[in-house]
Amino acid sequence: MAEMIECENLVKIYKTRDFEVLALQGLDLTVEKGELMAIIGNSGSGKSTLLNMLGGLDRPSAGRLLVDGNDLLKISESQLVTYKRQTVGFVWQNNARNLIPYLTAVQNVEVPMILNDTKKRRQRALELLDMVGIGHRRNNRLHQLSGGEQQRVAIAIALANQPSLLLADEPTGSVDRRTAGMIYELFQKLNREMGLTIVIVTHDRQLSRMVSRVVAIRDGRTSSEFLMRQNYAEELSKLNALGITECDSEERSHDELVVLDRSGRLQLPREYLDALGIHGRGMMRAELEEGRIVLLPKANESIAAAAPETVVTMDGATGSQAGN
């Protein structure tokens, strides 16, 4: 399958008069066309910085960033404007950035089409509002819509110019859990029926279970990935068909895999480091054992014997696990 997003050794440095902030430090990420995936990470991890660069709102400092064939490190300003109008759609958490309050829902959806001089704007806008399930509110203004309805209008706006990539920054951050679930179901529908590539940034790990792939970012690098277990996905699909909801943990629904970058670097899960008493920068012993790389504390053998080992498998699927 073709790739929609290719990030290689991506670096972003924010400079001020007094200091520099390294927001991304060698991030690697690949997203295939037609994929629905989520990016998670703590505040300051770099996830929003990445989303802004994918949306053409910010430029990388170094590395390689290709989106649907566009080199966002080398692209000209005029090409960047075209990219933002035609290739990517953006849904913000704050509805004030999505909607113009004195316009109706259908007029809001027409705005980006006016900028692109799209023909039959009203027909297209009404079709999009029907697609996101809010056609009956077409003539309502912002203050007449609930938070979930506003986000649905925002998604319709993002789809107005038929983008190949949809980006959503905390799209459920200002709505309740039930409404959030409905919005995620809408993303699944758009991905399934339109083949749209969708990247969602969220801090909510429960909601991230609704996508097949979750990428965790820590300290400006891709730390690990959570891939949905196929048997769980099939089981959940059968339960949903019967009208039964399954409330389960992310640990059961997804397998966590650490990511080995092109330079051979990886980030071990924080809980593994805590279990070994490693805080901040540390030194460890690495041993090759029966096709596995085993990392052990450097300090003394008694600690190494008592603490769980961290094992990185190298048999095709790079991952990590705790052993005895």
The one-digit pLDDT tens for each residue of the chain (324 residues) are: 689 999 999 999 988 777 888 888 888 899 999 999 999 888 888 888 999 999 999 999 999 999 999 999 999 999 999 999 899 999 987 776 778 999 999 999 999 888 776 778 999 999 999 999 999 999 999 899 998 899 999 999 999 999 999 999 988 877 888 888 888 899 999 999 999 999 999 877 666 677 878 888 888 877 667 666 554 445 445 545 555 454 444 445 556 666 666 666 676 777 777 776 766 666 677 788 888 888 777 655 444 444 444 444 444 333 444 343
The pair of structure tokens assigned to 224 is 């690990």
**Cβ count within 10 A of residue 126:** 17
Give the span between the Cα atoms of 30 and 6, in whole angstroms. Answer: 5
Asked if 92 contacts 169 with a C-beta cutoff of 8 angstroms, the reply is: yes
Q: Tokens 């399930």 identify what position? A: 133
User: What is the number of helices (H) and of strands (E) in the chain?
Assistant: 11, 15
Output the CA angle 268-274-275, nearest 5 degrees: 100
Domain boundaries, the chain: 3-258, 270-323
What pairing do the DSSP bridges indicate for beta strands 165-169 and 88-91?
Answer: parallel
The pair of structure tokens assigned to 37 is 């995936």
Asked if 311 contacts 293 with a C-beta cutoff of 8 angstroms, the reply is: yes
- Shortest CA distance to 209 belongs to which of 165, 162, 249? 249
CATH superfamily of 3-258: P-loop containing nucleotide triphosphate hydrolases (3.40.50.300)
Query: pTM to 2 decimals?
Result: 0.75
pLDDT of residue 123: 92
pLDDT of residue 321: 42
Output the CA angle 99-159-41, nearest 5 degrees: 80
* Cα 315 off chain centre by: 27
